[in-house]
Amino acid sequence: MSTQAPQGLFAVSQALCTLFILLLPFALAGLALINTGLARSRSAAHSMMSTLCVVGVAAVVYYAVGFSLEGFAGLSSHTFTFHNRDWSWLGAGRWFMRDVPLEGSPASFAALLQMMCVGMAAMIPLGAAAERWRLGACCVSTALFAGLTYPIFAHWVWGTGWLSRLGMNFGLGLGFLDSGGSSTIQAVGGLTALSLVWLLGPRRGKFNLEGMPAALPGHNTVLVLFGCLLALVGWMGLNCAGAILFAGAQPGRTVLVAANTLLSAAGGVLAAAAVTRYRFGRPDASLSANGWLCGLAASSAGCAFLAPASAMITGLVAGALVTLTVAWMESRLGLDDPAGAVSVHAIGGIWGILAVGFLPFAPGVLGGLNAAAPAIGPRGQFLSQVVGVATLLGFVLPFTYLLNWLLNFVVPQRIPPEEERQGADLYELGAGAYPEFMTHTDEFTQW
Amino acid sequence: MKLTGLLMMPAGWIIVVAAVALLRLLSAQELFVAAGCGVEILGLVLIVRSHLAEKGGSE
How does pLDDT run across B20-30, given as a tens digit for each residue?
A: 999 989 999 99
Closest residue in chain A to residue B49, using alpha carbons only: A333
| CA distances (Å), origin A371, targets A179, A249, A267 | 18, 12, 32
Q: How far apart are CA A316 and CA A310, in angstroms?
A: 10
H or E stretch at A80: strand A77-82
Question: In this predicted model, what pLDDT tens digit does every residue of A99-143 receive, in sequence order?
Answer: 998 888 999 999 999 999 999 999 999 999 999 999 999 999 999
H or E stretch at A78: strand A77-82
pLDDT of residue A445: 43
The answer to which of A97-101, A200-204, A205-209 has the lowest mean pLDDT is A205-209
Contacting residues of B for A402, CB less than 8 Å apart: 6
- Which residue pairs, CB below 8 angstroms and at least 24 apart, start in B46-50? B46/B1, B46/B2, B46/B4, B46/B5, B46/B8, B47/A198, B47/A401, B47/B2, B47/B5, B47/B6, B47/B9, B48/A333, B49/B1, B50/B1, B50/B2, B50/B5
Dihedral pair phi/psi, residue A306, rounded to 5°: -75, 155
Scanning B15-34 for CB atoms below 8 A from A yields 16-17, 20-22, 26, 29-30, 33
Q: Compute the average pLDDT of residues A31-59.
A: 96
Q: How sure is the predictor about B59, in pLDDT bands with cuts at 50, 70 and 90?
A: low
- With beta carbons less than 8 A apart as the criterion, state whether A293 and A124 touch: no
ipTM of the complex: 0.96
Q: For residue A446, which amino acid is it?
A: Q
Q: For residue A98, which amino acid is it?
A: R
Closest residue in chain A to residue B34, using alpha carbons only: A386
pLDDT of residue A437: 74
Is the pTM above the cut of 0.90?
A: yes
Residue A52 has pLDDT above 90, yes or no: yes
Buried b (16+ CB within 10 A) or exposed e, B31-58: ebbeebbebbeebbebbbebbeeebeee
The contacts of residue A11 (CB under 8 Å, 6+ apart) are: none
What mean pLDDT is reported for chain A?
91
H or E stretch at A81: strand A77-82
Hey, are the CB atoms on A377 and B26 less than 8 Å from each other?
yes
H or E stretch at A391: helix A378-391
Hey, are the CB atoms on B16 and A390 less than 8 Å from each other?
yes
Question: In this predicted model, what pLDDT tens digit does every residue of A253-312 receive, in sequence order?
Answer: 999 999 999 999 999 999 999 999 999 999 999 999 999 999 999 999 999 999 999 999
Shortest CA gap B37–chain A (Å): 6
